[in-house]
Each structure stands twice: as structure tokens, then as C-alpha cells.
Amino acid sequence: MQRWKIGDVTVTKVVEIESTGAATWILPDATPENLAKEKWLVPHFANEKGKAHISIHSLVVESGDERILVDTCVGNDKVRPVPAWDRMSGPFLSDMAEAGFPPDSIDRVLCTHLHIDHVGWNTRLLDGKWVPTFENARYLFGQREFAYWSAEDQEDAPYGDVFGDSVQPVFEAGLVDLVASDHVVNSEIRFEPTPGHTPGHVSVVIESRGARGVITGDLMHHPVQCAHPEWGSSADVEPERAERTRRDFLARYADEPVLVIGTHFAGPTAGRIVRDGDAFRLDPDA
């Protein structure tokens, strides 16, 4: 289990899926030829053939007495048009419990945005119904983000009825707090608006006793976007805004003592953003 300390805050990574393969389904410009040119990605973030390592994981943030779960992966039993994600039956919840975090011990669930691979474990299937997995938690969703997806026509949704099976049930159970994109969660944790991938997308900033960290969400899917912020994701709802957000993020955090924790970064998952000529890279050892 990977863990990081940021001042008094502890962040623990709980993996649902790790894979190595072509990244072009999510990053069309990240062809094997293009990835192979970025030697610094090997071995942690890609192999020598230009195949990308990608991870889907949750991050448990322990801050004061609170256990805060950031993003909730794909989930089990969900009917999904993506074959690898369809009706999964993985050990994610027992892995969480083994790491010391049984579902009923989670105080808050934060979703950086409401995409398929960030809301799945919000609910689980019980007697044929979707019920909140983290029954003692308040679920914090961005107001903008919630408004955007609740207005979308879910019948035509390309990823299945994600809102209906993974967002609506926790809302109906009265467990949701809709908050601003710069919401202050507590004295150590706050949201930072990073729109573009989705309209209400947020990152999660951690500050404790002078130490700083940030959880990216999907403003980037892979560290190669530090070197190529112009490479958008096929899932970016507002591509130009997403690119602006990536460039702002890199400028804000480059060469700063800030631990950047990637929501889909594999292997070491976290590092510092360092300037590399005109571009940037993620250095897990910095």
C-alpha cells in the first residue's frame, strides 16, 4: 500500500485497476511512437515500447479525526459499455478494509468530477438496489458539476447511466452536500477549481504545517501531459479550457515544494513538477 505524509496529513492509495497498453483511447496524441520519445517516462509511467501504465485508484486522506475518500473508481456490478469495466466484481472494498478503512469508517467522500471512473463505489448493489457504500459519510460534489450532469440526457450517455446508478442514489439518501468549486473542507483540505475536463472539475489541495500537496483529478490523465499540455483527453468536455487549466496548473506548481498526486498516474503516482527546458516533467524522486 502506497502512503504519503504531507505535514500531519496521510494519503493512502487504494488501487482498483492497473493496466499497461496503448493510451490513445484516452489521449489520442499519446501514440507509442510519441510516448517512446519521452525517455523520462520509463520505467514508472510507460515501457520502452511506448505503452502507458495507467491506474484507477482512490486516495484516502486522513486529516485530523477525519477520513476523506477522494474519488471512488469504477465500482462493482455496474452495467457499462466499456468491456473491462462492465459488471466488475473486484476486491476493492476488502482491499480498503485491509488497509484499515472499512466503508463505515469513511467520514467524507469527495469526487473531483462525476465521470464513470470517479463515482463507481459511491454506491453498491444490495438486493437489486443501488445504495450508498459509505453510509456514514457526507458526499461532497461540486455544485456546477452536479448541475451539468443532472441536466445531461442520460439515455444517450456514452458510458451508461452513471448518474442514475452512482450519483442519484446518494443524493436521494440525503447524503450529498453540493459545494462551490473552491470549497474549504477543513483547515487542511480544500478544493481548487480546475475546469475543462468537465465544467465543474476540481483538484484537491492539502496544506499542513507548511507542507503542500495536490490531487490532480483528471486535469491530466498521464504524466506525459506535463511535457505536452497541448495533448487533450478524448473525454475533455471543454478541450480549450482543459488545456488552459493544464498550463496554469503546471505554471503554478512547477519547481515548488508541492507533492503532486495523480489520480490516474501509475507506479510512484506522485512527484514534483520540474521545469525541463520549455516544458515540464513529473519527477517522482524530487
Applying CB under 5 A, which residues contact Zn ion?
117, 218
Per-residue burial over 27-55, b = 16 or more CB atoms within 10 Å of its CB, e = otherwise? beebebebbbebebbeebbbbeebbbbbb
Q: How far is the CB of 263 from Zn ion (least distance, A)?
A: 6
Give the full edge-to-edge strand order of the sheet including 279-283.
189-193, 202-208, 211-215, 258-261, 270-276, 279-283
Nearest CB to Zn ion, comparing residues 96 and 116:
116
In terms of CB distance, is 111 or 189 closer to Zn ion? 111
Phi, psi for 144 (deg, rounded to 5): -60, -45
Closest separation in Å from C-beta 187 to Zn ion: 28
In whole angstroms, how close is the CB of 214 to Zn ion at the nearest point?
16
Task: Sort strands 2-6 and 9-21 into parallel, antiparallel or unpaired.
Answer: antiparallel
By C-beta, is 92 or 208 nearer to Zn ion? 92
Q: How far is the CB of 218 from Zn ion (least distance, A)?
A: 4
Distances (CA, A) of 121 to 30, 86, 99, 163, 231: 29, 14, 16, 12, 29
CB of 233 to Zn ion, least distance (A): 9
**Closer residue to Zn ion in complex, CB, 25/172:** 25
Nearer to Zn ion, 62 or 236 (CB): 236
Nearer to Zn ion, 16 or 117 (CB): 117
- Provide the CB-side half-sphere exposure for 127 (13 A, CA): 0
Contact in structure between 122 and 72 (CB atoms under 8 Å)? yes
Buried b (16+ CB within 10 A) or exposed e, 79-94: ebeeeebeebeeebbe
Sign of the CA dihedral with 12 first, then 17, 20, and 24 last: negative
Least spacing, CB of residue 114 vs Zn ion, in Å = 11
The answer to whether residues 250 and 273 touch, using CB atoms and an 8 Å cutoff, is yes
Q: Which is nearer to Zn ion, 16 or 218 (CB)?
A: 218
The rounded distance, in Å, linking the Cα atoms of 229 and 225 is 5
CB 166 → Zn ion: shortest distance, Å?
A: 13
